[in-house]
Amino acid sequence: MRGWVLVPILALACAGAHADFYRWVDAKGKVQYSDQPPPANIKKFEKMKAAGGKPSDAPLPYVLQQAVNKFPVTLFSSDCGEPCAKARELLAKRGIPYTEMDATNPAAQEELKKLTGGLIQVPVLKVGNDALRGFAESKWNTSLDAAGYPQTAMIPPRAPTKPKPAKPSPASPSDAPSDEEPASPAPEANQ
């Protein structure tokens, strides 16, 4: 009899190995996790890839996990030419896991205004709660070092890419993050 109970559990575990998961905070303040998107009234949520999948998807080294958990890195960029390209190259060279936000997306622009006090120029690097405007390799390295990120890649670096244009989601185009790398805001935005 116990074997029949384990079959559905194993089937769900195998199906979840390649699934996306969602994390959000409900109206009561409780953190919720699900393999289904959150209800329509939830404006902010995270879409995450399930751990597992290919054998090459090894977990991050402990020191890198600690830095990512305490000081997540976000790059706000756009098609800003050399400064944005150099920013991506630096993060790739150091093997820094990061989220790239499209600065032309209205939601990203709002977040940038809060970080920078209104003027939106890219690239902007957010390390934890600190924001660095403009690409300055020495300042970026100093901030990443202070956050505990290794100076050399501990994981294979991801190839630098241009951000993909943001796609509005049906629920809320400005508040819903996606599993794609959003593009960063334009060099200047209207206030």
Q: How many Cα atoms are found within 13 Å in the side-chain-facing hemisphere of 182? A: 25
Residue 70 clears pLDDT 90, i.e. is over it: yes
**136 sits in which H/E element:** none
**Single pTM value for the model:** 0.54
Would you say domain 58-191 falls under CATH 3.50.50.60? Answer: no
Backbone dihedral angles phi then psi of residue 6, each to the nearest 5 degrees: -70, -30
For the chain, the domains span: 1-57, 58-191
Give whichever of 63-72, 110-119, 149-158, 165-174 has the largest mean pLDDT.
63-72
Contact 129, 139 (CB under 8 A): no
| Per-residue pLDDT at 42 | 81
Question: Tell me: the pLDDT tens digits for 104-150?
Answer: 889 888 888 888 887 778 999 999 999 999 999 999 999 999 999 99
For the chain, the distance separating the N- and C-terminal CA atoms, rounded to the nearest angstrom, is 65
Question: Tell me: the pLDDT tens digits for 16-53?
Answer: 444 566 677 888 877 777 777 888 888 787 776 554 44
Smallest CA-to-CA distance from 189 within 103, 125, 131 is with 103
Q: Compute the C-alpha angle 122/49/150, nearest 5°.
A: 55
